[in-house]
Amino acid sequence: MSNTTSTAVAKVSFRNVNVSYGNEIALRDVNLAIRRNTIFGVIGPANAGKTTFLKCINRTIDFVPKVKVAGEVCVEDVDVSTMRDVYNLRRRIGMVFPLPVGLPLSIYDNVAYAPRMAGSRDKHALDELVERCLRQAALWDEVKDRMKQLGTKLSGGQQQRLTIARALSHEPEILCLDEFSIAVDPVTTMKIEDVLVELRESMTIILVTNLVQQARRLADDVAFFNKSELVEINSTDVVFGENPANRLTYDYVRGHFG
């Protein structure tokens, strides 16, 4: 395994992290560091531990029954397990899961919900924030004339983009996306990818994807997981080149298994 990043400058780091669900091992001895203001790709076959990896970062792993987490998951060099204000941690880390989870609220209120909960009451500021987040999620042009409509009435792909807009409304330091494009058409996926490249300037993006070419297009560094283990972490050029550090990586990115 090759680690391209020093933990001294990392936005997120995993140090000897092991996760199990009862007797089932989900992550085994993971050590890695994710640089600030980069897009970090996470690839691997099903049941490799990718979603568990994401859930450890903002502690949504806490909701899983019988889970055991050992080791340190650090944000800004602080172990998240020691953070008492978990809600503040989750405000700092936006999370988008594969299938949309819409709130039973209007399109506008879906995006404005988190800022309001954080104390924002300025209507003009909220209007600007909602529009910006919807534009970033490539949804504004489709919904700008029906902001009072229930978000749950949107199509599946639109709801997924609304979920992205809601995650951005926190103005997070870290944005985690777990196969965000499953419910999104290819044209819209490309629009969102363009936005992610722009957002990299203001936040760290962690992108779990089963589309290896998506990781190749977007990521600065890539981690390859297989069977609960981190097989390799390297620059994108190395992972997708002719000589990655592990032969298993070479076989996976070329579609020999997965």
Q: Is 52 helix (H, G, I), strand (E, B) or coil?
A: helix
Encode pLDDT of 110-161 as tens digits. 999 989 988 888 999 999 999 999 998 889 999 999 999 999 999 888 898 9
Encode pLDDT of 49-83 as tens digits. 999 999 999 999 999 999 999 999 999 999 999 99
Place domain 7-100+174-253 in its CATH homologous superfamily: P-loop containing nucleotide triphosphate hydrolases (3.40.50.300)
- Which single residue is written with the structure tokens 């534009």? 135
Residue 199 and residue 187 in contact, taking contact as beta carbons nearer than 8 Å: no
DSSP state of 252: H
Mean pLDDT of the chain: 92
Predicted TM-score of the model (pTM)? 0.90
Residue (of 197, 147, 206, 138) closest to 172 by Cα position: 206
State the SS3 of 101-149. Answer: CCCCCEHHHHHHHHHHHCCCCCHHHHHHHHHHHHHHCCCHHHHCCCCCC
How many angstroms separate the CA atoms of 149 and 181, rounded? 23
How many angstroms separate the CA atoms of 202 and 86, rounded? 22
Res. 1 pLDDT band, cuts 50 70 90: very low
Residue 218's H or E segment, with its range, is: helix 212-218
- The torsion defined by the Cα of 196, 199, 203 and 206, in degrees rounded to 10, comes to 0
HSE on the CB side for 218, CA within 13 Å? 30
What residue segments make up the domains of the chain, in order of their start?
7-100+174-253
Beta strands at 78-79 and 174-178: parallel, antiparallel or unpaired: unpaired
- The rounded radius of gyration (Å) of the Cα atoms in the chain is 18
How many angstroms separate the CA atoms of 100 and 153, rounded? 12
